[in-house]
Structure 1
Amino acid sequence: MDVDTWIQFYELNGLIVIGGGTLDGQGAAFWSHDLGSQGPGLPVNLMFQKVNNALVRKLSSVNPKGFHISVVQCNNIRLYNLRITAPADSPNTDGIHISRSNLVKIARSEIATGDDCIGMIQGSTAISIKNVKCGPGHGISIGSLGKYENEADVRGVVVKNCTLSNTDNGLRIKTMRGPKATASRASSIIFQDIIMRDVKNPIIIDQEYNAHGKNQANPSPVKISDVHFINVRGTSTSPVAVQVACSRIVPCQNLQFYNINLDYVGKPRKALPPTCTSTCTFATGLSYGGIQKPPACH
């Protein structure tokens, strides 16, 4: 077991969990304590590890000490009709955290929490996220990548028909920098038919994550390619609605933007226009089609 957990299902095949009850982690008593990055991981409300062919429906999770739900080393697990809730300022309360798992389907769920609504790290493959409402939180994220030794790739992620409201990020891919960052890949990713409602960073690829101190001299070695943003519309609270900051040693390749329609609703800042803009660095093979608001960057 990688981290502490309250309830865990381990090494099972053909699991069915159907409820109507609520898992209350009573995390508020712990959130005020500063454990630091080296501190122990706080317990997850519900963990699935080495579980195959599972169905999970109609569960609620509130106020975990750590993550709400973790999916680790699983294959073919479906999570439907979930209600996940914690305050916007609750630390590290990821809604659903996926790693080293294949064929994970999440649908018809509502996630309001203090960190990523859904986070996918190393080894997440064939992931489907549909009809999810996210917010508050840090959005739907791939990464951080490049953190672990011999890190497995992320590929085949589809996020479709989702709504993000009042989140710090919308659709995000983030990778680590630094001397210990490891090379891996993130590819074949589709974000389609997404609504943003007052989202701070609607579209963001951040390969300068944790770029401070000694890490500044070490670009991310993670390769990002074949990422598609299709039919993304709504409002941004940041003037820079599309941010693409790729690695200078392995530039992003084949990024598609089709029908991007984002309006700026924040207060205009000095020296910045009252409309959204885009920024792109170290990206090759950019393609555009349909509406482009903010204007495309090349």
Structure 2
Amino acid sequence: MGRVNFGVSAFFIFCLLGLSANAKVFNIGSKPGCDITKALLKAFNEACQFPTKSTVLIPKGEYKLGEIEMTGPCKAPIRIALQGTVKADGNAVHSEKWIAFRNIDGFKLNGGGVFDGEGNAAWRVNNCHHTWKCKKLPISIRFDFVTNAKIRGITSLDAKHFHINVIGAKNMTFEEVKIVAPAESPNTDGIHVGRSDGIKIINSFISTGDDCVSVGDGMKNLLVERVTCGPGHGISIGSLGRYGHEQDVMGIKIVNCTLQETDNGLRIKTWPTAACSTSASDIHFENILLKNVSNPILIDQEYCPWNQCDKKKASTIKLSKISFKNIRGTSGNKDAVKLLCSKGHPCQNVELGNINIKYTGADGPATFQCSNVSPKLMGTQVPKACSSPVTKPLK
């Protein structure tokens, strides 16, 4: 009978920890308050070489964690169970990353823990929101070429730069992720994705100082669903076209989301002095609730921060198959809808259906602006939609 009780107790312990009973567990073996950089890397490397499923456990408590790269390929699926809080050096600003996961197939990160980037001290020396000639601060968490992965139930707090950056990923899901930084924190994008295929960001909360979700070039098949965003700069496709050799963007769905007190809402932005000729297509925004959002719907093909380009030149990024449907709520300024497309490559196949955006300011009512686009209109249009003559696209 004693042996039976032990087995049941062990089972419940694994359940409480959120660990799989058939996975080998590698504990960092460090006390709270310690620097776990070396211990975590050692535990990860051992787990990575284990022939069957494994878990690296960071127990409850606060730990210091320096710059670290956890790199595969691994022999079997691997999981990081972060139950405690790992804290970065608040003054460390000499690297482009804090934590990196690279070249791992079959990866999980969960446990309900916190990545605290301690960005407050670093934000004071960050001037990247004023000039592109600046030294980048560390991204909190990088996922480089990670496939078949699920990131669930973790929190990223006060990143020095981007909270999460994803590149080269395939089949990756972020679920119940919480991202928090003050509205005034510069360049603290929540989740930035690019050159990846098949990413889902669902049922998450992002409150930060820059884009909640930003989409770079080469992104294909992205789903953002049931995400609450704000404060921040909204959800952005781009900016695109600043650099040469950029790749096409396609298959973007932003659905059933709430944006509150954001500086922008649903935005697509391209540089007018594009260094390449690529496209962004099959982009759909649907069932979005707005709460005092500035620039709720915005296509900006004259995006030119810091006046680093010639706005007289036309963007060479081709935008097509774009829809905004069932967008409702309140605007923080009178510019509720702005579709400012390229005079060189006017937007093609743009649809708007059931737009109901209200503005109650003294300089109202809300307005709808468009250039170089003739959108297809369906259902309600508040504010009243405009139409724009479209010049013939350049060949």
Displacement of 1:197 in angstroms is: 0.2
Q: Distance in 1 between matches of 2:103 and 2:133?
A: 29
The farther-off stretch of 212-221 and 119-128 is 212-221
Equivalent in 355, 363, 367 of residue 277 of structure 1: 367
Residue in structure 1 matched with residue 256 of structure 2 by the alignment: 161
Equivalent in 115, 121, 131 of residue 23 of structure 1: 115
Q: Which residue identity lines up with residue 9 of structure 1 in the other structure?
A: F
Equivalent in 328, 334, 357 of residue 233 of structure 1: 328
The farther-off stretch of 252-261 and 28-37 is 28-37
Q: Which residue identity lines up with residue 223 of structure 2 in the other structure?
A: S
Equivalent in 149, 163, 166 of residue 54 of structure 1: 149
8 Å Cα contact 1:94-1:114 kept in structure 2 = yes
Residues 19-44 of structure 1 show CA distances to partners (whole Å, capped at 9, x for unaligned) of 21111111110111144422222111
Residue in structure 2 matched with residue 190 of structure 1 by the alignment: 284
Residue in structure 2 matched with residue 218 of structure 1 by the alignment: 313
Fraction of identical pairs, as percent: 43
Displacement of 1:213 in angstroms is: 6.3
8 Å Cα contact 1:239-1:268 kept in structure 2 = no
TM-score by length of 1: 0.94
Q: Which residue identity lines up with residue 159 of structure 2 in the other structure?
A: P
Equivalent in 128, 134, 147 of residue 39 of structure 1: 134
CA RMSD in angstroms comes to 1.4
The answer on 1:287 being equivalent to 2:376 is yes
| Alpha-carbon distance change, 263 to 9 in structure 1, aligned in 2, over 3 angstroms | same
Residue in structure 2 matched with residue 244 of structure 1 by the alignment: 339
Residue in structure 1 matched with residue 52 of structure 2 by the alignment: none
8 Å Cα contact 2:314-2:344 kept in structure 1 = yes
Q: Distance in 2 between matches of 1:49 and 1:182?
A: 24
Query: Which has a greater percent of strand?
Result: 1
Q: Distance in 1 between matches of 2:320 and 2:138?
A: 34
Q: Distance in 1 between matches of 2:223 and 2:383?
A: 27
| Alpha-carbon distance change, 213 to 135 in structure 1, aligned in 2, over 3 angstroms | closer
- Higher RCO (CA 8 Å, separation ≥ 6 residues): 1
Displacement over 2 Å in runs of 4+: 211-214
Displacement of 1:181 in angstroms is: 2.7
Pair member with larger Rg? 2
Displacement of 1:268 in angstroms is: 2.0
Describe the SS at the equivalent of 2:102: strand
Unaligned runs of 5+ in 2: 1-68, 70-94, 388-395
Residue in structure 1 matched with residue 193 of structure 2 by the alignment: 98
The answer on 1:71 being equivalent to 2:166 is yes
Q: Distance in 2 between matches of 1:51 and 1:149?
A: 25
Residue in structure 1 matched with residue 222 of structure 2 by the alignment: 127
Q: Distance in 1 between matches of 2:246 and 2:311?
A: 21
Q: Which residue identity lines up with residue 187 of structure 1 in the other structure?
A: S
Query: Which has a greater percent of helix?
Result: 2
Equivalent in 162, 180, 188 of residue 85 of structure 1: 180
TM-score by length of 2: 0.72
Residues 52-87 of structure 1 show CA distances to partners (whole Å, capped at 9, x for unaligned) of 110110010011110000111111100000010000
Describe the SS at the equivalent of 1:30: helix
8 Å Cα contact 2:126-2:186 kept in structure 1 = no
Q: Distance in 2 between matches of 1:213 and 1:130?
A: 34
